[in-house]
Amino acid sequence: MSKYPAELKYRESHEWVRVEGDVAIVGISWFAQDSLGDVVYVDMPEVGAEAAAGETISEIESVKAVSDIYAPVSGEIVEINEALEGDEESVNTDSYGAGWLFKIKLSDPGELAALLDAAAYTAHCEAQ
């Protein structure tokens, strides 16, 4: 699998989005998990909470640091990945699969246009 799958959209703050209907599945990119090192804890948002694009929605803790997770789009948190509790290393080993973080029901699908495609995100990461 590519470090940055083409079917996903990305924020410059290293969150990825996979859209399924009116729901966005959100996780952190390969770059983010690689920079963080071993993930040991994920502070999930509350199901039912409203998220605004760009606001801090949760935190992720690794052996190196604690980092904010930003909502890539606005909407309602409809699901969290409960399987990560006790299996936080999935964020490192399968960041685009089992390591997803939460799902947001889109309130404004137009916000997706502001996210980066894989090529632009790759260029952003290479510049850092």
Q: Which CATH number fits domain 9-108: 2.40.50.100, 3.40.50.2300, 3.40.50.12500, 3.20.20.140?
A: 2.40.50.100
**What pLDDT shows up at residue 2?**
79
The strand order across the sheet containing 15-20 reads 9-10, 15-20, 23-28, 102-106, 75-80, 50-51
- Kindly give the confidence (pLDDT) of every residue in the chain, 128 residues in length, as a single tens digit, with 9 standing for 90 and above: 679 999 999 999 999 999 999 999 999 999 999 999 999 999 999 999 999 999 999 999 999 999 999 999 999 999 999 999 999 999 999 999 999 999 999 999 999 999 999 999 999 999 98
Look up the pTM and report it.
0.96
